[in-house]
Amino acid sequence: MPASIPLLLLLALAVMVVVHVVVPKTRPILWKVSAALGLVMLGLLMYLGMFYAPPEAFMSNVGRILYVHVPYIWMAFIAFLMNVGCAFAYLMKKSWVTDALAESSAEVGVLFGAVGVAMGSIWARPTWGVWWDWDPRLISTTVMLLSYVGYLALRSFTEDPERRATWSAAVGILSGVSLPITYYSVRWWNSLHQVQSSTASVDKTMGSVLLWGLVTLLCFLFPFIVKRYEIARARQTAAMELPPLEAPRPEAA
């Protein structure tokens, strides 16, 4: 798959999220549109994946799980990239918006990544005969997920919002180093697992079904992130209100 596609997806997500945050009017609509579109596309994806695409060369029909496995993990990648971006933005200029976005993207990323890995694992059972194998791609993906689990644990163990925000931005950036590593791990440590396929190595129709799956899941990723973001914002503003100018009367003691 050309490297530009994931970047385009990231860009699309970023634009939608920025629109959602900046233009209040779009807030109630945009995510619904996206989710609805996603549902429709998912229906089609089922059809395309099950019947339209040719069976995978080595793995026959089980291989069709590919069309959701890869998109899920890619969505996790995109969400983590967004997290790193927000972490940088937060350290440059403090803003509760980027902090909340960082929180939601990490959490949603872990969720999507976990589903993707679970699917890979389900896939591994019939093809490799085990649930899990010692393979750089699998390990680096899992380790990447673990580092974001650590990120989330730190967030939940820190009560003070300011500290939480700066600490987790720092941890987010350091965890972000695992993204390129995961991406390149297949080349560094020679791998059992598929390397990134190029258009050459993958059947045309398979590639387009995969692309369809990616866009479908992006349509789900967006509402997850903004909904989680709104929850984070609501928690923040509840904690953020200034105390009243005058001391409350009855509490004179």
Partner 1 sequence: MSALAVEAIDISKRFGARWAISRLSFSLAQGRSLLLTGHNGSGKTTLLRIISTAAFPTAGTLKVLGFDSKKERDSLRPSVALVSHASFHYEDLTAAQNLLLSAKFLGVKDPASSVKELLERMGLSSRADSAVRQFSAGMRKRLAIARLLMKAPKVALLDEPFGELDPAGSLQMEQLIRDLQAQGTSVVLATHLIEQGLSLTQERLHLEGGRKVSPT
Partner 2 sequence: MTPKISLLTAAWLVLKKDWQIEWRTRARLTALIFFSGATLLLFSFAMGPDVTSLRAHAHGYLWLGLLFASVLSLGESFRIESENQALTGLVLTPVEPRAIFIGKVLGNASMLFALSLVLLPITIGLYDVDLTRVPHLLLLVLFLGTLGISAPGTVYSAISANARARDVMLPLLLFPVLVPLLLAAASATKLTFQPDPQDQLGSWLKLLIAFDLIYLSVGFLVFPKIAEED
In the complex, the residues that contact partner 2 under the rule CB under 8 A are 91, 94, 121, 130-135, 139-140, 142-144, 146-147, 149-151, 153-154, 157-158, 162-163, 166-167, 169-171, 173-175, 177-178, 181, 185, 188-189
Provide the token pair at 60: 């026959």
138 binds ligand HEM (CB under 6 A): yes
Shortest Cβ 237–partner 1 spacing (Å): 13
Q: Does 247 bind partner 1 (CB under 8 A)?
A: yes
Site stretch for ligand HEM (CB under 6 A), options 39-47, 80-88, 96-104, 194-202: 194-202
* Identity of the residue, 42 or 62, whose beta carbon is nearer to ligand HEM in the bound complex: 62
Quick check: 115 binds ligand HEM (CB under 6 A)? no
Phi first, then psi: give them for residue 189, nearest 5 degrees: -110, 115
User: Cα–Cα distance between 185 and 6 in angstroms, integer?
Assistant: 18
Q: How far apart are CA 191 and CA 202, in angstroms?
A: 18
In sequence order, the 6+-apart residues with CB closer than 8 A to the CB of 231 are: 104
Measured from the CB atom, the residue of 37 and 59 that comes closer to ligand HEM is 59
| Alpha-carbon span 25 to 21, nearest angstrom | 10
> Is residue 162 part of the contact set for partner 1 (CB under 8 A)?
yes
Do the beta carbons of residue 126 and residue 61 sit within 8 Å?
Answer: no
Which single residue is written with the structure tokens 């579109």?
Answer: 37
Task: Determine if 127 is a binding residue for ligand HEM (CB under 6 A).
Answer: yes
Q: Is 183 helix (H, G, I), strand (E, B) or coil?
A: helix
**Binding footprint of partner 1, residue count (CB under 8 A):** 10
Structural tokens at position 239:
């904690």
Selected binder of partner 1 within 28, 157, 242, 250 (CB under 8 A): 242
What's the token pair of residue 225? 């992130």
Q: Which residues bind ligand HEM (CB under 6 A)?
A: 1, 66, 69-70, 73, 117, 120-121, 123-124, 127-128, 132, 137-138, 141, 193-194, 196-197
